[in-house]
């Protein structure tokens, strides 16, 4: 008589082998932006959990650097749970993070006196697990270090957000070196959206997806994060109305 159904012994052995190989059954999940034009460019429909993602300003200036930090903060705001933010320069403006949805009661700040200590804290927080996101501000990210961070993220399933910050123009060139990050983004400030009446329009950024594993690079003109960390894609309307399509994803 033909045997029906899977052999439970074989199934159990397969599970044990997967566990020993580090391939524990964990669904591949991603955090979508809620904007189809962006999510369609990302494998899994968003930023992959259990991976690290890099963000840098489009130039060496503080304005673009702040935009990159706010972009990453908006992503962290749309996760669930506490967020660990590791940094060596105590110049982070918490009210600005709150404006993009990342409220102070969710953030655990880890201040270190040296960048290598920032990386150690970042890796330890990634390995801990159970966090919404882990953010680390660094100048350099060598390939060997990025691989350790990626492995730590894979082990816990936590999303890691690396913000590259430059103190001087010469350091910005380090962003061109390869890393193990799943995605790499460059954020630049653009003129605000035009309004039909005089006033200050919504801040706009140029978000350059300069690298994505198993995908293609792309550029997006986006409206800055709102108070829930959501972004919008600026329309390509020729009438100059400045209308945008808002993200509907709230985490």
Verdict on whether the full-model pTM lies above 0.75: yes
d(CA 160, CA 154): 10
Cβ-count burial 20-44 (b if 16+ within 10 Å, e if not): eeeeeeeeeebbbbbbeebbebbeb
Reported confidence tier of residue 89, pLDDT bands at 50, 70, 90: confident
19-28, 136-145, 190-199, 208-217: the lowest-pLDDT one: 19-28
Asked if 154 and 47 count as a contact pair (C-beta separation under 8 A), the reply is: no
Asked if 162 and 127 count as a contact pair (C-beta separation under 8 A), the reply is: no
The CA distances from residue 103 to 32, 54, 70, 73, 192, in Å, are 20, 22, 13, 10, 25
Contact partners, residue 64, CB within 8 Å, separation at least 6 = 57, 58, 187, 188, 189
The CA distances from residue 12 to 2, 9, 24, 27, 107, in Å, are 21, 5, 13, 19, 41
Residue 13's pLDDT is: 62
The predicted-structure confidence for 101-152, as pLDDT tens digits, reads as follows 999 999 999 999 999 999 999 999 999 989 999 999 999 999 999 999 999 9
């Amino acid at each position: 008589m033909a045997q029906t159904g899977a052999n439970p012994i074989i199934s159990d052995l397969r599970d044990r082998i997967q566990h020993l190989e580090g391939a524990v059954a964990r669904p591949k999940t991603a955090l979508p932006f809620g904007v189809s034009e962006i999510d369609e460019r990302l494998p899994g429909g968003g930023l992959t959990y259990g991976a690290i993602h890099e963000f840098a300003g489009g130039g060496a200036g503080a304005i673009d650097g702040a935009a990159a930090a706010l972009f990453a903060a908006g992503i962290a705001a749309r996760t669930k749970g506490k967020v660990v933010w590791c940094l060596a320069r105590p110049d982070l403006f918490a009210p600005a993070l709150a404006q993009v949805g990342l409220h102070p009661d969710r953030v655990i700040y880890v201040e270190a006196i040296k960048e290598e200590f920032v990386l150690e804290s970042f890796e330890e927080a990634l390995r801990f697990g159970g966090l919404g996101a882990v953010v680390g501000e660094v100048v350099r990210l060598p390939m060997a270090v990025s691989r350790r961070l990626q492995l730590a993220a894979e082990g816990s399933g936590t999303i890691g957000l690396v913000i590259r910050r430059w103190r001087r123009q010469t350091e910005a060139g380090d962003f061109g070196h390869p890393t193990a990050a799943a995605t790499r983004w460059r954020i630049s400030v653009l003129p605000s959206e035009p309004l039909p009446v005089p006033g200050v329009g919504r801040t706009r950024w140029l978000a350059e997806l300069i690298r994505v594993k198993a995908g293609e690079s792309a550029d997006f003109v986006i409206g800055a994060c709102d108070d829930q960390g959501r972004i919008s894609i600026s329309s390509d309307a020729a009438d100059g109305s400045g209308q945008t399509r808002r993200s509907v994803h709230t985490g």
